[in-house]
Amino acid sequence: MRPGRPRCPRRIQSEPAVSYFKPRGVPLKELEVTSLTLEELEAVRLTDLEGLSQEDAAHSMGISRRALWEDLQNARSKIVDALVSGKAIEIKGGNYALEGGWRYTCHECESEWDEPGDDNQPPHCPSCGSEEVGRRCGGQEVGTKGSAHRGRCHNAEMERKRRADHDER
């Protein structure tokens, strides 16, 4: 990645149900931890588990083949290092957008939930009923109820526009 250039959010199918893997019989507090981002996990899932070509996986994630290749190399290196060195793997964070939906956060009780990918803000938090709700894309809030910016995470659209402009040259 070039300095100063914003990293395009990667589309992922879903967040994993499990966030840690560790060697059996060793307490987590005694282990060194390797962090794997959700987009790195998605790159491995699409290519190694689902058997997609790198081109198809990159298209699915909304990124270039080179960006997918970099995520894939980083992920494989981290996974192999953890397996060979007996480290725990923590899966968290990154710059991603959930495919087909939004991640919401309540500003009152801090609960989080997913909703379908329409542009309507849910009226209230399902846990506490508050209307102080924020929409999240790739871990970053992109709008709250009543705010001026209520759109989707625009980085992916800007990346597509940049690519189209580059292709015209």
d(CA 115, CA 32): 35
pLDDT in tens, 83-107: 999 999 999 988 887 776 666 778 8
Residue 117 has pLDDT above 70, yes or no: no
Are 39 and 12 in contact by the 8 Å Cβ rule? The answer is yes
Percent of the chain with pLDDT over 90: 41
**Which residues make Cβ contacts (< 8 Å) with residue 107, sequence separation at least 6?**
130, 132, 133, 134, 144
Question: At the top level of CATH, which class does the domain 100-156 belong to?
Answer: mainly beta
pLDDT in tens, 126-140: 899 888 887 665 455
Burial (0-12, 13-18, 19+ Cβ within 10 Å), 164: exposed
> CATH topology for 10-96?
Arc Repressor Mutant, subunit A (1.10.10)
Q: With the C-alpha atoms ordered 149, 100, 92, 130, is the resulting torsion angle positive or negative?
A: positive
Q: With the C-alpha atoms ordered 67, 88, 110, 123, is the resulting torsion angle positive or negative?
A: positive
Q: CA torsion angle for 141, 68, 19, 3 (degrees, to 10)?
A: -50
d(CA 133, CA 111): 10
Query: Strand order in 33-36's β-sheet?
Result: 20-21, 88-91, 33-36
Domain ranges of the chain: 10-96, 100-156
pLDDT in tens, 23-71: 999 999 999 999 999 999 999 999 999 999 999 999 988 889 999 999 9
